[in-house]
């Protein structure tokens, strides 16, 4: 697969570095450093683009400026790309209205486009747009990418005697590398503490999704991203967690009469 990654700053740099390091060796990846200054209205996209791009199948838009999103149809045309991944990890970088327009523009060009919010909600078949809205898609290039990077997926081995994590294999990493970072640090952690520890590690990585309250979620996208990772860990350790039952109105044995 031929990939064109569009970046402007630290967010994109981290993401593409992880993809280059851990993606399949047969992926051919080109990186374009996009401009960071744009007029309020982009009348002439060609003024902000090179004369040509290397041929691509998939565009990864990791830019931190909404002006870049307006260039994506022209980038797709110049590169011949048939699919675009433009995540919404911050509404300042890709507002929901512009994301909706972008999907429409590219659909009319015969180019598949997904705008997962947050990026780590992406799977081979669907992605999240809001807390209650999950969007299905069907595109071979995006699905191939999402089989390696997107919604974190682990295979966790737990010692049934000690209930401690023996090992964690990453089945699908987050695009930024957070899932791999967490997996490398969970060995030895009790099943009872694994979810909380995963959440702390996600925070310490740190996640670069927005820390502002998003109206579609009523929460920060950083927190939403952390919950996705915590839920994946929690689902696997649940059978090994120790459950304490309390009976209302009873006293513990060490309490006096």
Domains of the chain: 2-146 (3.40.50), 153-240 (no CATH)
Give me Rg for the CA atoms of the chain: 21
Give the number of other CB atoms < 10 A from CB of residue 215.
10
Report pLDDT for 250. 54
Q: What is the pLDDT of residues 69-87, one digit of tens each?
A: 999 999 999 999 999 999 9
Closest by CA position to 208, among listed 171, 186, 177: 177
Mean pLDDT confidence for 75-103: 96
Query: In the structure encoding, which two tokens stand for residue 232, read together?
Result: 């994946």
DSSP sequence for 14-72 = HHHHHHHHHS-TT-EEEEEE--S---SS-S-GGGGS-S-----SEEEEE-SSHHHHHHH
- DSSP secondary structure letter of residue 127: E
pLDDT given at position 130: 94
Residue 60 tokens read as 């990864």
pLDDT at 228 over 90: yes
């Amino acid at each position: 697969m031929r990939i064109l990654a569009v970046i402007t700053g630290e967010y994109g740099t981290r993401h593409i570095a992880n993809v280059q390091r851990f993606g399949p060796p047969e992926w051919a990846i080109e990186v374009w450093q996009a401009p960071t200054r744009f007029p309020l209205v982009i009348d002439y996209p060609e003024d902000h683009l090179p004369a040509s791009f290397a041929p691509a199948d998939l565009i990864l838009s990791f830019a931190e400026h909404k002006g870049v999103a307006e260039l994506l149809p022209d980038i797709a045309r110049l590169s011949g790309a048939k699919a675009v991944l433009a995540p919404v990890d911050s509404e300042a970088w890709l507002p929901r209205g512009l994301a909706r327009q972008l999907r429409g523009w590219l659909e009319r060009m015969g180019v598949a486009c997904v705008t997962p919010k947050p990026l780590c909600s992406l799977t081979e078949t669907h992605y999240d747009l809001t807390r209650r809205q999950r969007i299905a898609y069907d595109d071979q290039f995006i699905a191939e990418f999402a089989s390696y990077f997107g919604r974190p997926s682990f295979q966790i081995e737990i010692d049934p005697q000690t209930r401690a994590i023996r090992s964690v294999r990453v089945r699908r990493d987050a695009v930024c590398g957070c899932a791999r970072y967490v997996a490398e640090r969970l060995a030895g952690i009790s099943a009872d503490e694994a979810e909380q520890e995963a959440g702390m590690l996600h925070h310490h990585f740190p996640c670069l999704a927005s820390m502002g309250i998003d109206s579609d979620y009523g929460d920060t996208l950083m927190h939403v991203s952390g919950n996705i990772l915590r839920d994946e860990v929690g689902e696997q350790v649940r059978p090994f967690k120790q459950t304490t039952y309390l009976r209302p109105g009873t006293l513990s044995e060490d309490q006096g009469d």
